[in-house]
Amino acid sequence: MSRRSRRRHVVEGAEKGLEAIKTEVMRREGYSVDPARPDDVKYEVAQSLGVPLKAGNNGRLTTEEAGRVGGPIGGAMVREMVKMAKEQLVRNRSR
């Protein structure tokens, strides 16, 4: 029997900020995102890629299919966070 661990953010309390980033980034990528439920964008991404992701048990989903859905979401978020960090470094240097 496999156990799912709950993901924990490195910075406690960062959940709302990460949800806001996900909402903004995925909107820019052309997806409709409900700010109250930003994680639901994965279903729209899956549908656009032809991946049979649905709410509930997705035990028959292959690792490749899961990666095809998570990759665009996580990749876009990481690019945005790197951009934000670079901008902050530039601001801090100019002080």
DSSP string, the chain: ---PPPP--SSTT-HHHHHHHHHHHHHHTT----TT-GGGHHHHHHHHHT----SS--TT--HHHHHHHHHHHHHHHHHHHHHHHHHHHHHHHT-
The predicted-structure confidence for 6-25, as pLDDT tens digits, reads as follows 667 788 888 899 999 999 99
* Mean per-residue pLDDT of the chain: 89
Predicted local confidence at residue 32, as pLDDT: 92
pTM: 0.76
The predicted-structure confidence for 24-49, as pLDDT tens digits, reads as follows 999 999 999 999 999 999 999 999 99
Predicted local confidence at residue 1, as pLDDT: 41
Q: Structural domain boundaries of the chain?
A: 15-93
The predicted-structure confidence for 72-82, as pLDDT tens digits, reads as follows 999 999 999 99
